[in-house]
């Protein structure tokens, strides 16, 4: 079987429709011709199912592969992913986001595709808006979105990306009368009174005991409790009290991304979840569905990192975050500020 290289396509005669399309769903029949992408053609050349002709001459694999990689950006990356998917037994067609992949047992003309696969190099930073474009393209037609990342040694990792809703079962804490007095010392807040400390810690899992009487609150916890009208925060410097704006200014000077973190924190708490620091995991939060200190400490379900809408993912960093989350049986979620609300994007490794 011979195909002719014409610009960035390889065209084969009618017989190819029978031999390549009808048996393996390679290419797309266009009238009496089968049209193949460079990637499909390279794979068929490797499989010795196709010879490729240019100007009356048959090209060897090295020659065709080298030419194709000049014609199409990221040709090798995409070839590696295409070959891998094919060798795992999937039928694959080109798509707006690199590839459409059919479910096992399905094929073009019989079943709709199941996944959109988006190929990226480990080395190339991935802007969140690009990821959202692909995710929305997949969502709109109810496809699974798969991110295929090729590392410097051409190893492949597949990730499923999806938007999720999160919800917990933690009851909101109630006021016990007067505002609870607390003091901002350097970069943390201390509640001095023993019974208030216990109330906040035991009933809401806020803060961490400094000792058996006093409680330390993090900056986001303090801002949330202040916003909810439960505590008042004095400044050790001025001996006066801070309002929420004043506190935010101080907190932002201590922690430059305080406001972004706080918005995600407040949204999680408002959704009945219990976010605590995720420092040990390198993320902003680890998140529990519910915590009762009288029972056994539950397992936290999510690691959540708050990012701006124009965040750029460094893929080695993302890979590490997801791998670590999965190794401790948690989901890795990114909390993205989306106008007045927060969108949660779940990124998890999958086997294809």
Residues catalogued as catalytic: 288, 299, 330
What's CA 164's distance to the chain center, in Å? Answer: 11
Binding residue (CB under 8 A) for a copy of itself from 148, 219, 291, 304: 219
Rounded Cα–Cα distance for residues 120 and 207 (Å)? 41
Smallest separation, CB 122 to a copy of itself (Å): 5
Q: Does 202 bind a copy of itself (CB under 8 A)?
A: no
Tell me which residues in 146-165 interact with a copy of itself (CB under 8 A): 149, 151-155, 157
Give the interface size with a copy of itself as a residue count (CB under 8 A): 60
Q: Is the Cβ of residue 186 or residue 340 nearer to a copy of itself in the bound state?
A: 186
Among 14, 88, 104, 123, binds a copy of itself (CB under 8 A): 123
Residue 299 or 323: the one with the smaller Cβ distance to a copy of itself is 323
Question: Which residues make Cβ contacts (< 8 Å) with residue 345, sequence separation at least 6?
Answer: 131, 135, 161, 162, 163, 164, 333, 334, 336
Interface mask toward a copy of itself for 74-103; x: CB under 8 A: xxx---x--x--------------------
Write out the E strands in 205-269: 208-209, 215-217, 231-235, 241-242
Whichever of 143 and 331 has its CB closer to a copy of itself, that residue is 331
Place of tokens 């201390």: 190
Instruction: Determine the Cα–Cα distance for residues 158 and 349; give it in Å rounded to an integer.
Output: 6
Which stretch in 13-21, 88-96, 127-135, 145-153 sits in contact with a copy of itself by CB under 8 A?
145-153
- Strand 283-288 versus strand 302-307 pairing type: antiparallel
Window 277-296: contact mask with a copy of itself (x via CB under 8 A): x-xxxxx-------------
**Cβ distance to a copy of itself smaller for residue 22 or 154:** 154
Contact between 91 and 107 under an 8 Å Cβ cutoff? The reply is: yes
Nearer to a copy of itself, 113 or 200 (CB): 200
Sequence-separated (6 or more) residues with CB below 8 Å from residue 96: 116, 137
Of the candidates 154, 131, 116, 158, the one whose C-alpha atom is nearest the C-alpha of residue 313 is 131
């Amino acid at each position: 079987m011979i195909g002719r290289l014409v610009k960035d396509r390889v065209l084969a005669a009618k017989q190819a429709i029978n031999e390549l399309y009808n048996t393996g769903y390679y290419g797309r029949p266009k009238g009496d011709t089968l049209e193949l992408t460079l990637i499909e053609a390279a794979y068929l050349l490797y499989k010795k199912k196709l010879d490729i002709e240019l100007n009356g001459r048959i090209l060897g694999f090295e020659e065709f592969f080298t030419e194709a990689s000049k014609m199409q950006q990221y040709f090798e990356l995409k070839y590696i992913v295409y070959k891998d998917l094919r060798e795992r037994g999937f039928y694959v067609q080109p798509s707006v986001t690199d590839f459409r992949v059919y479910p096992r047992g399905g094929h073009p003309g019989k079943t709709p595709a199941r996944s959109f696969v988006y190929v990226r190099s480990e080395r190339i930073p991935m802007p969140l808006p690009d990821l959202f474009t692909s995710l929305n393209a997949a969502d709109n037609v109810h496809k699974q979105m798969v991110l295929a990342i090729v590392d410097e040694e051409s190893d492949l990792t597949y990730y499923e990306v999806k938007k999720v809703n999160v919800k917990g079962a933690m009851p909101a804490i109630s006021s016990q009368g007067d505002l609870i007095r607390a003091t901002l010392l350097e970069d943390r807040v201390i509640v001095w009174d023993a019974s208030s400390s216990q109330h906040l810690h035991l009933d809401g899992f806020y803060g961490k005991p400094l000792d058996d009487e006093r409680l330390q609150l993090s900056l986001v916890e303090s801002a949330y409790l202040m916003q909810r009208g439960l505590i008042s925060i004095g400044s050790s410097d001025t001996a006066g009290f801070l309002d929420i704006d004043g506190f935010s200014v101080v907190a932002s000077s201590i922690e430059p991304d305080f406001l972004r973190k706080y918005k995600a924190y407040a949204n999680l708490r408002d959704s009945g979840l219990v976010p605590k620091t995720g420092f040990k995991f390198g993320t902003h939060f680890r998140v529990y569905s519910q915590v009762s200190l009288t029972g056994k400490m539950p397992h936290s379900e999510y690691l959540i990192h708050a990012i701006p809408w124009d965040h750029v993912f460094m893929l080695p960093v993302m890979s590490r975050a997801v791998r670590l989350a999965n190794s401790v049986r948690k989901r890795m979620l990114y909390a993205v500020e989306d106008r007045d609300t927060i969108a949660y994007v779940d990124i998890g490794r999958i086997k294809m």
